């Protein structure tokens, strides 16, 4: 996976903030066609071939932010402003969540193993001895791989003492756990939406930004601007994504225009109780293992690829589902907006009907910037009574869901837990055989993203930073509290 902090992320956030600023100023339609030029000025040193291509990419990013399906709706003769006015009229269809920009795709060559200059043509030649296909030859004192025969097993890379063997992947194809990302005849990326589980890994992996998510931000900012009653449902992973405490984040949301804020951890409590109850039932009836059901990409995985797991997953709603019900009960007029790290949540939201909008943390960050809201400067909002669900904030981390279920289960020590910490190609293969060979566990916690939701495709900071800032008071003054020990001792 591509390191989160990179040129592309920075560009994306800048584009988002500029668009939202213009939206709230009421000038988006007039300004939008000039934005690519404003964002990529003449003097810029281009990262792509030239500034004109960069501007074209900014145009596509803006379209994606509008929720436009670039694959089907791209019309180069159409101005951005006419796209914008369409979107102002009517929200776009949500599915599919991802879309590709074929002109951005660099059509990366098929993945291969290559022996680099670093090869010293040693005497032991472990590459030669370990290649199962005999495709290594030596010439000019160096090893070479016969691409036609190579099966890309990577054995030579493992054994080379000089690290001379490099693997050059196709980032998007490698990232997709279910092989939904393929290249077409011209070599450009294509997504098979029959297979796609909307986990967002490909979009996080492509170094050219050729796979983008169609944002759900416009419907939400339209609600905010119309001053409707909007409830922000904040995912447990939000703590640590912004420089401040949970109470300050809540206040920042109120300052941004949300009418009320509810922690989805509250819904997670109901999910945990439900799952604990169900687990008990299944165990006493000897029905075998049960999986969690809160990860929407996993739900898609089951529906599209592993139907035999349908009866295995818990019937509980996700925390988002329960929280939305609560919010609507408290105020039937309210619009509910889920704010989380997840793209697949939007697929779930469409099915649920109690959710009116979905934002990612990254989009919320741009919204804060556009509105000039500084989380750190916020007073502390009252979080209300949180004792009963405080532990459920751990739903954001791998292992956290299972532990919340178990702490609500009477005979927890009799339960064996198997956490699935991230689904990649290999894990997908493992799960396929569960049909024939049942995993030895009572409760299987499944999270598609490695590490849990704090590593989702919509996060602002990488997990190591988020973990540092999570956990109540410490985050209040994130840096002061962490003042270097070396410095403090002197």
Whole-number Å distance between alpha carbons of 487 and 86: 57
How many residues make up the chain in this entry? 490
Q: Which is nearer to another protein, 132 or 487 (CB)?
A: 487
Query: Is 298 among the residues that bind ligand SF4 (CB under 6 A)?
Result: no
The distance of closest approach from Cβ of residue 96 to ligand SF4 in the complex, given in angstroms and rounded to an integer, is 16
Instruction: Using the structure block, give the residue that is written with the tokens 């105020």.
Output: 331
DSSP 93: P
Among 143, 204, 211, 404, binds ligand SF4 (CB under 6 A): 211
Query: Is 473 among the residues that bind another protein (CB under 8 A)?
Result: no
Whole-number Å distance between alpha carbons of 320 and 324: 6
Q: What are the start-end ranges of the H helices in 410-484?
A: 425-432, 463-469, 478-481
Q: Which is nearer to another protein, 202 or 475 (CB)?
A: 475
Among 70, 189, 218, 235, binds ligand SF4 (CB under 6 A): 189
Residue 147 touches which member of another protein, ligand SF4, none, C-beta under 5-8 Å by kind: none
Decide: residue 75, CB within 10 A, 0-12 exposed, 13-18 middle, 19+ buried. exposed
Query: Is 2 among the residues that bind another protein (CB under 8 A)?
Result: no
DSSP 313: B
Among 239, 377, 390, 416, binds another protein (CB under 8 A): 377
Among 11, 119, 131, 172, binds ligand SF4 (CB under 6 A): 172
Query: Is 8 among the residues that bind another protein (CB under 8 A)?
Result: no
Centre a 10 Å sphere on the Cβ of residue 171 and count the other Cβ atoms it contains.
Answer: 24
The distance of closest approach from Cβ of residue 206 to another protein in the complex, given in angstroms and rounded to an integer, is 19
Which is nearest to 361 in space by CA: 339, 393, 338?
A: 339
Instruction: Using the structure block, give the residue that is written with the tokens 């500034």.
Output: 51
CB–CB of 245/476 below 8 Å? yes
Whole-number Å distance between alpha carbons of 137 and 129: 11
The distance of closest approach from Cβ of residue 221 to another protein in the complex, given in angstroms and rounded to an integer, is 17
Query: Is 365 among the residues that bind another protein (CB under 8 A)?
Result: yes
Q: Which two tokens stand for residue 273?
A: 């109780």
Residue 286 touches which member of ligand SF4, another protein, none, C-beta under 5-8 Å by kind: none
Among 170, 191, 268, 431, binds ligand SF4 (CB under 6 A): 170
Choose the binding region for ligand SF4 from 91-99, 103-111, 122-130, 460-468 (rule: CB under 6 A): 103-111
Among 299, 316, 375, 423, binds another protein (CB under 8 A): 375
Query: Is 243 among the residues that bind another protein (CB under 8 A)?
Result: yes
Whole-number Å distance between alpha carbons of 59 and 426: 37
The distance of closest approach from Cβ of residue 14 to another protein in the complex, given in angstroms and rounded to an integer, is 8
Query: Is 45 among the residues that bind another protein (CB under 8 A)?
Result: no
CB–CB of 182/80 below 8 Å? no
How open is the CA angle 28-95-62, to the nearest 5 degrees? 25
Q: Which is nearer to ligand SF4, 211 or 367 (CB)?
A: 211
Q: Which residues contact another protein (rule: CB under 8 A)?
A: 5, 9-10, 13-14, 17, 242-243, 362, 365-366, 368-369, 373-377, 460-462, 464-465, 468-469, 477-480, 482-487, 490
């Amino acid at each position: 996976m591509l390191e989160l902090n990179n040129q592309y992320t920075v560009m994306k956030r800048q584009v988002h903030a500029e668009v939202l600023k213009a939206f709230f100023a009421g000038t988006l339609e007039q300004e939008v066609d000039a934005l690519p030029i404003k964002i990529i000025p003449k003097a810029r040193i281009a990262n792509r071939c030239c500034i004109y291509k960069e501007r074209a990419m900014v145009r596509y990013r803006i379209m994606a932010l509008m929720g436009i399906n670039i694959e089907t709706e791209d019309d180069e003769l159409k101005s951005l402003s006419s796209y914008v006015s369409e979107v102002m009229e009517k929200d776009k269809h949500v599915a599919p969540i991802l879309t590709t920009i074929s002109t951005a795709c660099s059509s990366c060559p098929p993945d291969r193993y290559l022996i680099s200059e670093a090869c010293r043509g040693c005497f032991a030649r472990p590459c030669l001895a370990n290649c199962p296909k005999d495709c290594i030859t030596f010439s000019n004192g160096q090893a070479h791989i016969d691409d036609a025969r190579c099966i890309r097993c990577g054995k030579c890379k493992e054994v080379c003492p000089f690290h001379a063997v490099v693997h050059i992947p196709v980032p998007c194809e490698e990232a997709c756990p279910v092989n939904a990302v393929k290249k077409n005849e011209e070599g450009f990326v294509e997504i098979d939406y029959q297979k796609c589980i909307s986990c967002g890994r490909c979009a996080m992996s492509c170094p050219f930004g050729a796979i983008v998510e169609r944002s759900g931000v416009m419907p939400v900012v339209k609600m905010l601007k119309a001053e409707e009653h909007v409830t922000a449902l904040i995912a447990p992973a939000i703590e640590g994504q912004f420089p401040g405490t949970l109470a300050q984040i809540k206040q920042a949301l109120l300052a941004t225009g949300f009418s009320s804020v509810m922690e989805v951890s509250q819904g997670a409590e109901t999910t945990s109780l439900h799952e604990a109850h169900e687990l008990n039932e299944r165990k006493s009836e000897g029905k075998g293992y049960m999986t969690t059901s809160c990860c929407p990409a996993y739900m898609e995985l089951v529906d599209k690829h592993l139907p035999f797991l349908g009866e295995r997953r818990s019937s509980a709603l996700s925390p988002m589902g329960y929280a939305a019900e609560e919010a609507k009960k408290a105020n039937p007029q309210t619009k509910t907006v889920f704010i989380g790290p997840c793209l697949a949540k939007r697929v779930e939201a469409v099915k649920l009907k109690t959710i009116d909008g979905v934002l990612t943390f990254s989009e919320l960050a741009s919204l804060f910037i556009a509105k000039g809201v500084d989380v750190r400067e916020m007073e502390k909002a009252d979080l209300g009574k949180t004792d009963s669900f405080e532990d459920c904030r751990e739903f954001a981390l791998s292992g956290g869901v299972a532990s919340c279920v178990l702490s609500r289960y009477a005979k927890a020590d009799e339960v064996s837990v198997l956490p699935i910490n991230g689904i990649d190609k290999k894990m997908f293969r493992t799960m396929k055989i569960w049909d024939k060979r049942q995993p030895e566990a009572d409760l299987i916690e499944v999270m598609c993203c490695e590490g849990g939701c704090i590593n989702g495709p919509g996060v602002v900071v990488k997990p190591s930073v988020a973990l540092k800032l999570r956990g109540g008071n410490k985050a209040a003054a994130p840096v002061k509290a962490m003042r270097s020990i070396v410095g403090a001792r002197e």
